[in-house]
Amino acid sequence: MWKMIAAAFAAMLATASAAAQDYPTQSITIVVPFAAGGPTDTVARLVGEAMSKDLGQQVVIENVTGAGGTIGAARVANAEPDGYTLLLYHIGMATSATLYRNLPYDTLNAFDYVGLVNEVPMVVVARKDFEPTDFASLVDYVKANKDTVTYANAGIGSGSHLCGMLFMSTIGTQLTTVPYQGTGPAMTDLLGGQVDFMCDQTTNATNQIQTGAIKAYVTTAPKRIAALPEIPAAAELGQKEFEFGVWHGLYAPKGTPAPAPAIERLTASLQLALKDPVVLERFGALGATASTAEEATPAALKAKLEAEIARWKPLIEAAGVYAD
């Protein structure tokens, strides 16, 4: 009897191991919780394309928008933990844990971690005929016209929302905010003059700034970025509190096959993707910094998420800005 049980158990382990070795055997979906054409989407498509080459399976990007990215995050939190549904989400994974007091998932227990992907500075940009010509005149103009100036963001919990919250607390003024499903569509309205200004990630704004299609005033990077050498960094203007990076992480639903062969395979593929020449060239041209192999690990992403939740919680509570 015991021999039969042992044989069955060995067969089960062998099957699991074989499945683990075969993973992936079908296309993988990366859920992007913001609209197509925005910075999160850009990062996901670049990294997804490189991972697809390594994994030998198609990587499909699915945009699931709304509520600052938390609707897409919820989709993955509730997905089958089979290694075929992933989430690429940025700093919003951390800030939404405080901003949304009724999140439909437990941020620190609903996901397995694949690894950190990159970090992207933000840049304050405006429609090209917006009157202010530099950051100082932008602050003065916005204060003087606070009832008419409009600020675009990608919903509470987005990077553009967080940057706007810091900007408004810096100038001590609340502004009319226009929410979008992502800064892709927000950029369309900025280019069309339907909205006055916003914070956007450099991955989305750099080309428009370089062509003069929009104005730029300051970046949230620690120093000037090569892609935008003429744009001052916040610290240069004495705005050190305005310095932060939008970091992106790749996640899977909690319980993705253990002993996590899918996670190990995905982490290795992500690390390879972050060395891909095309990915590195595009990241560099757009002001993004790829995570190192040490950062593109489950432990590093888990540590980053926990640290960022702790960092932003008091700032958000002090601002008293909640989504519900």
Interface residue list for ligand MLT (CB under 6 A): 34-35, 38-40, 90, 92, 154, 158-160, 182-184, 200-201
Q: Which residue is nearest to ligand MLT (CB)?
A: 38
Please, are residues 308 and 91 in contact by the beta-carbon 8 Å criterion?
A: yes
Cα 269 from Cα 277, distance rounded (Å) = 14
* Closest approach of ligand MLT to the CB of residue 158, in Å: 3
* Closest approach of ligand MLT to the CB of residue 204, in Å: 6
Q: Is the peptide bond before 259 cis (omega within 30 degrees of 0)?
A: yes
Complex with ligand MLT: residue 82 or 189, whichever CB lies closer:
189
**Token pair in block for residue 258:** 């253990």
* Closest approach of ligand MLT to the CB of residue 238, in Å: 25
Q: What is the DSSP string of 272-318?
A: HHTT-HHHHHHHHHTT-EEPPTTTSSHHHHHHHHHHHHHHHHHHHHH
- SS3 category, 15: helix
Complex with ligand MLT: residue 72 or 261, whichever CB lies closer:
72
Give every CB contact of residue 59 below 8 A, 6+ residues apart in sequence: 27, 28, 29, 30, 48, 49, 51, 52
* Closest approach of ligand MLT to the CB of residue 197, in Å: 13
* Closest approach of ligand MLT to the CB of residue 286, in Å: 12
Please, are residues 122 and 201 in contact by the beta-carbon 8 Å criterion?
A: yes
Complex with ligand MLT: residue 34 or 283, whichever CB lies closer:
34
Residues in the chain: 324
Complex with ligand MLT: residue 55 or 73, whichever CB lies closer:
73
Complex with ligand MLT: residue 55 or 250, whichever CB lies closer:
250
Complex with ligand MLT: residue 182 or 245, whichever CB lies closer:
182
Cα 248 from Cα 245, distance rounded (Å) = 10
* Closest approach of ligand MLT to the CB of residue 184, in Å: 5
